[in-house]
Amino acid sequence: MTPGQVGTALIGLALLLLAGKLVRLHWRAGQNLFLPASILGGAIGLALGPDILGGIAGVIFGGDHTLADGLIPADVLGVWSSLPGLMINVVFATLLLGVPLPRWRRVWHLAGPQLAFGLSLASGQYVLGILLAVAVLVPVFGLPVMAGALIEIGFEGGHGTAAGLQPVFAELGFSDGADLAVGMATVGVVGGMALGIILVNWGIRRGHTEVHDASVAAMPLAQRRGLVDAHERPRYAGEMTVRPESIEPLTLHAGLAGLAILIGYGLLSLLRWIEAITWGGPDGVALLGAVPLFPLAMIGGVLVQIGLNRAGYGDLLDRATMLRLQGLALDVLIAAAIASLSLSVIAANLGPFLLLASVGLAWNIGMFIWVAPRMIPQYWFERGIGDLGQSMGVTATGLILMKIADPDGRSPAYEAFGYKQLVFEPFFGGGLITGLALPVIYHFGPWPLFAVMVVLLAASLVLGIGYFGRRDAD
């Protein structure tokens, strides 16, 4: 692969993102569903690729026609398919960089109900997924039992986690799992936005919201188009903590993110070395060899933050700037993952795919409607809708739904959600448990992980309903 091919692929991806934004500006359905340009642009790339345009042209004109392979060259698709595995490290390295480290007493008091609800959603996705795999997917469809982890990887983890685990799927002999996971993530994001907006309107009509009295349809057109009105535009996307003549602020933050990734790589190498000389020797079981880098990159970000604070340079980090860097990586990741998605794999496994997606959607919606009010009696709708969105896509989905449900930030939803992420993200949604799930199932079978998730689910329900729900109600 030449530098020219890489450059062409990056330019093509940038054009897809621009095309996605144009679609969002002028397509009413995309506006009402708040679909990000990365998903729309990725869908355009997928439509122009070999599976859709190429398949249609092959049927109409024959397999030798110029369009039989689509309009996207194979080398460009090759670059796009490798980008998500790189960009996910940037996303996770920046996840906690610039986030103030709060007192844990306040985290427990405010985010405890959110954490209990989030853990219930995530652990339940494993429990139902493994049961579905053992009862149906393995005996009926012949899939590996690792398919039981696809709901959590695709829904809770999102496109970044699904694409980032592609090498793990391949190493464990389940290459199709990566495409199924990306497809699940797409269903999760689109379904999360569509069902989330339906639920917001339902909550307003039923009086479940405490701060919102207008439907989504009444929102300003500029907001639905994804624009910022001229009189509301901030002067800068973030604070300039250093002077540009010394170093561009964005460059500084990119360098710190790179340092976090490097520290994460060092931690992962250390853990693999420890495993190699202990339980993972010649006759042992190697689990960490299949663990991806990105959960450790997040830990690296926390260590960078702590180190800067102790050295007296913590104020050089600007969270808004770090979010812009994270957003760029996430846009590239999602668009590239969808555009390079193999629809033939999903078509070949359509039955299992629909079963997993249906079970995941039903679980998340049911938990939100029946469990969230009992765990989070105060502002349960505004706070729970964020966890629902995250459990069906990415953190951005949850933030968008919270913004719709609480546009003026009058509830503690944003603060509670942010604190909950500090505890939740290192383990689920692409964290250590998500990274270990596949190799654990592969080496030990589904039941050890199933047992742990059942215990965690039961504990989360008891803690959330029996303690936090009653405490907040009092």
Phi-psi category of residue 142: left, alpha or beta, with phi > 0 → left and psi -120 to 50 → alpha:
left
Compute the distance between CA of residue 82 and CA of residue 88 in angstroms, rounded to an integer. 11
| pLDDT confidence tier of residue 472, bands split at 50, 70 and 90 | low
The predicted-structure confidence for 387-396, as pLDDT tens digits, reads as follows 998 888 666 6
Mean pLDDT, residues 400-426? 73
Q: Is 277 helix (H, G, I), strand (E, B) or coil?
A: helix
User: What residue segments make up the domains of the chain, in order of their start?
Assistant: 1-72, 103-215+285-298+342-474
Compute the distance between CA of residue 171 and CA of residue 290 in angstroms, rounded to an integer. 7
Report whether pLDDT(103) > 90.
no
Mean pLDDT, residues 113-126? 93
Of the listed ranges 153-162, 172-181, 436-445, the least confidently predicted one is: 153-162
Closest listed residue to residue 6, CA positions, set 68, 82, 62? 82
- Scan for tokens 């812009």, then name that residue: 324
| pLDDT confidence tier of residue 218, bands split at 50, 70 and 90 | low
Of the listed ranges 197-206, 238-247, 282-291, 310-319, the least confidently predicted one is: 282-291
| pLDDT confidence tier of residue 159, bands split at 50, 70 and 90 | confident
pTM of the model: 0.76
Report whether pLDDT(119) > 90.
yes
Cβ atoms of residues 200 and 216 within 8 Å: yes
- What is the chain's mean pLDDT, rounded? 85
Q: What distances in angstroms separate CA 19 from CA 8, 12, 24, 46, 337, one per listed residue? A: 16, 10, 9, 13, 16
Mean pLDDT, residues 403-424? 73
Element (H, E) at 134: none
User: So what's the pLDDT on residue 404?
Assistant: 72
